[in-house]
Structure 1
Amino acid sequence: MTTPARTDPVVRITPGKVRGRWRTTTDAHGRQSASAVFFGIPFAQAPIGALRFASPVPPEPWPDVRDALVHGPTACRTDPGDTLIPEPVFAGESTLNVDVCTPAPGDPEAGLPVLVYIHGGGYVSGTPASPWYDGRAFARDGVVTVSVSYRLGFDGFGHIDGAVANRGVRDWLAALEWVQENISAFGGDPARVTLAGQSAGGGGALTLLGMPAAQHLFHAVWSMSGALADVPAARARAISERLAHLAGVKPTRTGFASVDEADLVALQQRAAEAPSRDRLAPVRAVLSQGLAYGPVIDGELLTRSTPDSIAAGVGADKPLVLGTNDDEFTMVTDSLRAKLRLIPASLALRALGVPHARRRAYLCANLAQRRLGTAAVLGRFAGDTLFRAPLVRVAEARGAGTRPLGAPTWVYRFVWPSPTRRWALHCLDVPFWFDCLDAERVAAIAGDDPPQGLADTIHGAALGLIRAHAPGWEPWSERSGTTRIFGGTASADAVIADGYASVRPLV
């Protein structure tokens, strides 16, 4: 006797009904599970025309059942090329949408925990439609997953006279408001929302954690390799003026609105780099000033840096997990090994503008990396500067044993080296966290036989936070430095006393 096929699930949300589809998947342990997916549901109207540089506006109601069977248009308009994470691009105007994966569509009494995921891409690229962000494993484990889109680059974060600031941040807020209003229709509990993201998405999750206006929208945070921006207002204005000059318009809303979005995207990187004949100037600028595009300290939505806001106690009631990969960017400097072979690491760091005392302390704290050569040191230094030192600042800002009424902070490192790229590189942890090692292009950075046990462990820790606010090891907030190691040898895959000692000279 055959089992009758399920009919396509239809759920009613505030603007109208949406139709998804069921699918059955089998995981690495042979377990079958069914989940329903709904793609491209608009949480706001298309940011075009008069809405291009405006705050997101709720979607217009629709009278009929709306098909949500394919991914919606993406804010990333052009093929980003060979990225570590596959990031498909879809054309169209309605780029502010969410994808939902759930085991219990149409059951408002299910009360399942909810994961809201913000994609990475340096705040200028990336899409929520990557197969690596598929929520099938979380659905198997009783979690509703929502992947959100947001405006990118200058359109999302650039300073524009006459327009609201932080439009991309406002998109995150609108998506989270949509979750609060509609997620019960998909079986989710709006009072059990965990916010997570990787790279720029991890930085976005931390930005929201430190934002007073966002506190009612989520209840826990997991940040993977979080890249904070906290762009000063003066820098954002300077970049805007350079971009306007390059585009041949005035730096106003009217001026920028006269330029096609694709043309601004083509110019925005040039605008981010102050003119200089020094080839290392752009590198020094990123390492010393951070990313050019991303959340801006605008004095309204964001009044201070994220670590400062967190140190002031914003978000202290929300459990937080922070982690990075050991060698986020070392694969970038690998190609320079031969050229840097005879250049002392201290001299190379000096060329990047690192002061004498700091580079000496940093090299002393990274003797093992120093033995691997100057290219390895520079790659580690870049990753430490952009990801790992900020992690320590945030963890310390939350306090260690100083806030008995605050929620815990847990810290980890992902140390498993890629068999194809040599290092525990940026993005490598994502398919393990989502437990999707069979997804498209995972083998390119994780090899043909990635360790499923590691995926079970880190995905299980994510479930621990999402379900019960307890990932499963001693918090940093109880003892500063306490760090869980994911992917080490049997003896090293444990909790250690000061897992980020090597980056403290940069903090």
Structure 2
Amino acid sequence: MKADAPEVRTTAGVLSGETGKAGTAVFRGVPYAAPPVGPLRFGAPRPAPGWDGVRRATAFGTPPPQSAVFGTDALAPADADDGDWLTLNVWTPEPGPGAGLPVMVWLFGGAYVIGMSGLPEYDGGRLAREGVVLVTLNYRIGIEGFALVEGAPANRGLLDQLAALAWVRDNIRAFGGDPDRVTVFGESAGAGSLAALLATERAAGLFRRAVAQSVPAPFLSAGLAADVAAELAAELGLRPTADDLGTVAPGLLPAAADALGARMGRYAPRWGVLARTAIPLAPVVDGEVLPRAPWEALAAGAARDVELVVGHTRDEYRLFMALDGTLGEEMAEDRAARALRDFSPDGAGEEAYRKAFPDLGPAGLYELVRSDWLFRMPSLHLAEAQVAGGGRAYFYELVWETPGMGGLLGACHGLDVPLVFGNLGGGLPALLFGEAPPAEAEELSGLFRSAWTRFAAGEGPGWPAYDVERRPVRLFDVRPSVTAYPEEVSRTLWQDHVFGALPLLAARGRGPGL
């Protein structure tokens, strides 16, 4: 084979890739399941058909339909309705069987409504060059992937991820990978997906290690998910069934979720804290694909055989404040007070936060309580659940402050992603680091890549395992250190809170919020 056109043989046929800019072989747009269209729409993923001859694998697959919330819908091509979304990409420094390299499989984030594996920040060349086989994948999101639809299995996005992992098990040896040394890593909704995979028996044996970066809180009970689905379908004048929704072109469904998200506050009497967010979809604790919420499942030992790295950034919610224009602006006292009432743990209320953080003004309290509820405390509690269930967990916090937006972003949500992949320019990285990433970012990226690939190789990430007495945490900074968990005040406020499936608070009435 030509050096610039590497070939591998998979169970479905021969693939021809190319040499990437980092010098690794890359195979793009590889189908791991059949397109979920026609009679397969809203169904569990089915095996991808094989092919004769050599299939070129040099272009990313079509991304799934995107929400317009953060503008990613503009990145979805006009042919997104073709349903050819279930593809993956492989970067490898040593294509061909026999190398036995560790494998890392990436699950993108995006609030379960946006995301695609072909974004430049997910280019796997630099990570693969560290001595791993790197896999990224598309999976169904939005209504296609996560709405609870009558006549369809729940959590179709998770089922897609499981199908991709089964493909890795059956094929990755041909790319130089070891199917017995698979690490799944993901951030934000990708970390939430990973938490769900840790909790389901269907993932048993598909991966040995996991890295969950900023685990989000929202998981929905079946009752709440059904009520949300009814409102989503009502946006289109339909019932929440596979037959009805199957009459709508896939590219038109995200608009229904966006419309509902824009007025979710009206549903607070039924949906509780979920209504205070703008995203109506999340994994569903349906009793089949996902029997229990991840925190409960891990505490019962569901993932005790999987080594886990989990952590968060220090200033998680600042990115979202930057996106909605409130970062660095004065905030009305009543807005902060409502956030404290809505997001503080178990009725502790705003007074508990005000007493615990007396030096913070309205904007600081608003940012902190939303960071704690959405990412920081769910991540910490997942590590503690893993330890309680007899498993091993390692915890980290990213505390380095990016110079992006004049330093206002701090150590914000998503900052870890370009650092882990080593892609520091263009797109979102340009917002985070500015047009010229500082040398400190490159140094920190090297620390992340080394820790993640070392962990994937079975050598541990480079700091002590977490325990509930000493609480050792790796602080990622230009000068990294290990210390007791630094967010002790928040941890104490949340120590008795139980993260689980969000409930439906009241039956559906005759109108929104009734």
After TM superposition, the score normalised by the length of structure 1 is 0.88
1:129 is aligned to 118
Shift of 1:350: 4.9
Is the 1:330–1:380 Cα contact (8 Å) retained in structure 2? no
Give the unaligned 5+ runs of structure 1. Answer: 26-33
Separation of aligned partners in 1, 2:154 and 2:401:
40
Larger deviation: 113-122 or 295-304? 295-304
1:412 matched to 2:396: yes
Q: Give how far 1:344 is off.
A: 7.7
Report the identity percentage: 33
Deviation at 1:485, TM superposition (A): 0.7
Counterpart Cα distance in 2 of 1:342 and 1:248? 38
Superposition pairs of residues 207-218 of structure 1, within 5 angstroms? 207-218=196-207
The AA in structure 2 aligned to 1:449 is: P
The reply to whether residue 496 of structure 1 matches residue 475 of structure 2 is: no
1:38–1:87: structure 2 CA closer, same or farther, 3 Å change rule?
A: farther
Deviates more, 1:184-193 or 1:161-170: 161-170
TM superposition shift of 1:18: 0.8
Match of 2:354 in 1: 363
Question: Equivalences for 1:187-206 in 2 at 5 Å?
Answer: 187-206=176-195
| Structure 1 Cα separation of the partners of residues 195 and 74 of structure 2 | 23
Distance 2:76 2:417 in 1: 19
How many Å separate the matches in 2 of 1:440 and 1:353?
Answer: 31
The reply to whether residue 76 of structure 1 matches residue 73 of structure 2 is no
Deviation for aligned residue 1:429: 1.2
Q: Secondary structure at the match of 1:413?
A: strand
Q: CA deviation at 1:287?
A: 7.6
- TM, length-normalised to structure 2: 0.86
Tell me, in whole angstroms, the C-alpha distance in 2 between the residues paired with 1:246 and 1:205: 30
Q: How many residues align?
A: 482
Structure 2 unaligned spans of 5+: 498-514
Amino acid across the alignment from 1:19: S
The match for 2:16 among 13, 19, 23 is: 19
Residue 9 of structure 1: aligned partner: 6
Structure 1 residue 245, shift from structure 2 partner: 2.0
Corresponding residue number in structure 2 for 1:222: 211
Number of the residue aligned with 2:472: 482
Taking a change above 3 Å as real, the CA distance of residues 411 and 366 of structure 1, as seen in their structure-2 partners, is farther
* Cα distance, 1:77–1:360 mapped onto 2, change above 3 Å: closer
What is the distance in 2 between the residues matched to 1:340 and 1:145? 43
1:104 match: secondary structure: coil
Pairwise CA distance, 1:330: 2.1
Higher RCO (C-alpha under 8 Å, 6+ residues apart): 2
Q: Is this contact kept in 2: 1:20–1:38, CA < 8 A?
A: yes
Question: 2:447, 2:343 → 1: CA distance?
Answer: 40
Cα displacement (A) at 1:458: 1.6
**Among residues 139, 143, 148, which one is paired with 2:132 in the alignment?**
143
* 1:482 and 1:499 in contact (8 A); partners too: no
Please tell me whether residue 311 in structure 1 is matched to residue 302 in structure 2.
Answer: no
Query: Counterparts of 2:348 and 2:228 in 1: how far apart (Å)?
Result: 32
Match of 2:244 in 1: 255
Q: 1:87 to 1:139 in 2, by over 3 A?
A: farther
The aligned residue for residue 184 of structure 1 is 173
State whether residues 65 and 250 of structure 2, in contact with CA within 8 Å, keep that contact through their aligned partners in structure 1.
no
Structure 2 residue matching 1:190: 3-state secondary structure: strand
Tell whether the 8 Å contact from 1:150 to 1:171 is kept in structure 2 after alignment: yes
Query: Which residue identity is paired with 2:393?
Result: T
Work out the CA distance in 2 between the residues paired with 1:338 and 1:166. 38
Retained in 2: the 8 A contact 1:76–1:127? no
Answer whether contact 1:9 1:21 (CA < 8 A) is retained. yes
Q: Secondary structure at the match of 2:103?
A: strand
Q: Which amino acid aligns with 1:418?
A: T
Residue 395 in structure 1 maps to residue 383 in structure 2 = yes
Question: Mean alpha-carbon deviation: is it higher for 4-13 or for 301-310?
Answer: 4-13
Distance 1:156 1:275, change over 3 A: closer
List per-residue Cα deviations over 1:396-450 (Å, max 9, x = no partner): 11226x83xx3x2111111112212322111111111112224555232113233
Q: How does 1:257-336 map to 2 (within 5 A)?
A: 257-271=246-260, 285-286=273-274, 292-333=280-321, 335-336=325-326
Superposition deviation, residue 237 in structure 1: 0.7
Deviation at 1:356, TM superposition (A): 6.8
Q: CA deviation at 1:498?
A: 2.4
Q: Counterpart of 2:510? A: none
After TM superposition, the structure 1 = structure 2 runs for residues 88-107 of structure 1, keeping only pairs within 5 Å, are 88-90=75-77, 91-92=79-80, 93=82, 94-105=84-95, 107=96
What CA distance in whole angstroms lies between the structure 1 residues aligned with 2:62 and 2:248? 20
Secondary structure, counterpart of 1:468 in structure 2: coil
CA distance in 1 between partners of 2:288 and 2:278 (Å): 21
- CA shift, 1:63, in A, is 0.7
Instruction: Name the CA distance, whole Å, in 1 between partners of 2:153 and 2:315.
Output: 37
2:147 equivalent to 1:158: yes
1:37 corresponding residue in structure 2: 26
Aligned CA distance change for structure 1 residues 292 and 82 (closer, same or farther; 3 Å): closer
Does residue 48 of the first structure (1) align with residue 37 of the second (2)? yes
State the match for 2:461 in structure 1.
471
